Homo-oligomer: A and B are copies of this chain.
Amino acid sequence: MELVRVATVESPLTDRATAPKQGDEGAPEAWLSFEPAYADALDGVAEGAELLLLTWFDRAHRDVLRVRPRSDPDRPVQGVFNTRSPDRPNPVGLHRVSVLERDGLRLRVSGLEALDGTPVVDVKPVLGGISER
């Protein structure tokens, strides 16, 4: 189960400690730069599209199984499968974005909390207007 990089995040965010934790918490726009080998897979993706991105949190810690949720310090420590922590056995990020602009193999997208250089591993359309980052 080996993932390939299909695109790379280009973002002003470079530091995990100061990056927003979710895309709707003030995350900046970002560019996604696709690998030429996957150009055909991008057919039909255009400005205005609502997408789910899967990314690989390459700076996460895969050996963390329990964390204290940041949203409520009074909550007990939780298993990472009950949180959105990037630290988890398979550090795959899930992000909902809108496509603001397409320029060839590059997409400009709305608020994305992934750091500069983060690999993108999949892109899916949002189904039926339902939402989930």
**Residues of chain A whose beta carbon lies under 8 Å from any beta carbon of chain B:** 1-6, 22, 38, 40-45, 49, 51-52, 54, 56, 58, 65-66, 76-84, 88-90, 92, 94, 96, 119, 121-127, 130-133
Contact = CB atoms under 8 A, between A and B. Distances in A.
Give the top 6 A-B pairs by smallest Cβ distance, nearest first. Answer: A132-B132, A43-B79, A1-B3, A44-B82, A40-B65, A81-B123
**Oligomeric state, in copies:** 2
Nearest to A49: B82
Contact of A5 (B1, B5, B78, B88): B1
A63 B113 CA distance: 29
Given A38-B89, A52-B94, A122-B92, A43 B132 contact: no
Contacts of A49: 82
Contacts of A131: 130-132
Nearest to A62: B4
Contact of A127 (B42, B76, B132): B132
